[in-house]
Amino acid sequence: MRTRPIIPRKRLRTALLATAAVLLAACGGNPTRPEAPAPVQAPPPELKVGLALGGGAAKGFAHIGVIKMLEANGIRVDTVAGTSAGSVVGALYASGMDPFAMQQKAVALDESSIRDVRLFSGGLVQGRALQDYVNAQVEGRPIDRLPRPFAAVSTQLETGKRTVFVRGNTGQAVRASSSIPGVFEPVAIAGRHYVDGGVVSPVPVDAARQLGADFVIAVDISTKARGTAPSDMLGIVNQSIAIMGQRAGAEELSRADVVIRPEVATIGPADFEQRSAAILAGERAALAALPSIRAKLAELSVARTRDHQARHEREQREAARLACLQQEPGRIARLLNREPDCDAAGASASN
């Protein structure tokens, strides 16, 4: 008679557990985990282009030429900030006025209509006429109701601090931004007095960033010291302001993505009869800057898309990991006392 081999009890128990595990798995004891739904990838947000228009009195007509060429070549401006003369052009542009309409108004502008001289006050010009002119052009809308986000930069006389107007009376903010010390009376607003923004921010790059711009095009028309003294009072004051704000202005200007510098050195701050020449200078400078603007916009767009994709992949990994943590472990995992590897699940979600 043939005898059967005796199987040790320990081996028999191990074999039975293994068999049970196989049977449980076959019967759905360790169900397949549903995959976490992948987050829908939204397209990266469009870049917001901001325009920072500097001060320069009559040279400010050059801003109109710059805007004309940017629009004609498909560069859409989303926000605009202005200092002094730049705030005048910026307010009209932010109101929805197109650059050709601005040019027509500039050509037809009677300088005396925005100059209200008043003797024996804090300045030769009161500035109320300029305020009324701007408000008429923007149809009386306050800054925060203009179609395009706008900021006017001024200097608070009591503290010397930069003030950025982004709400309230549009004409009054422009007047405050344009009140050249010694020429215009300081503007009183809510118990404070304000003078030309060129003292602290000749080209308001930072204000354009504050409005949400990702890419800032700055237009610098400021007066540069050329070894000779201006002969008229407005020229002296204008150059003095430029010298005072030169260092701070250079630092702020370095934070722009592109700087456009129209050739307006021969145009004096009071040379309103050269408005057409200033507009033409702005057009030429903007055209020359277009290759740089396009190249840098494309570079920033690629970087933005890459960052957006990386963020989306991180969100996918986190969603998979959280879904894994919320699932109950299968019976086999419980039997073997094993927890699911949710970190691995998250890592595989983005592959």
- Among all residues, which ones are annotated catalytic? 84, 196
Nearest Cα to Cα of residue 187 among 87, 58, 79, 59: 87
Nearest Cα to Cα of residue 49 among 215, 258, 265, 293: 215
Query: How far apart are the C-alpha atoms of 105 and 86, rounded to whole Å?
Result: 15
CB distance 99 to 66 below 8 Å: no
CB distance 189 to 154 below 8 Å: no
Sign of the torsion formed by the C-alpha atoms of 342, 346, 349 and 351: negative
DSSP state of 245: T
Nearest Cα to Cα of residue 217 among 79, 101, 91, 95: 79
Query: How far apart are the C-alpha atoms of 19 and 98, rounded to whole Å?
Result: 81
- CA dist list (Å): 345 to 122, 316, 318, 350: 72, 10, 9, 9
DSSP state of 250: H
CB distance 215 to 50 below 8 Å: yes
DSSP assignment of 203-244 equals: S-HHHHHHTT-SEEEEE-------SS--SSHHHHHHHHHHHH
84 torsion bin: left (phi>0), alpha (psi -120 to 50), beta (else): left
Query: How far apart are the C-alpha atoms of 340 and 344, rounded to whole Å?
Result: 9
- CA dist list (Å): 42 to 45, 78, 206, 285, 321: 9, 21, 29, 37, 21
CB distance 162 to 153 below 8 Å: yes
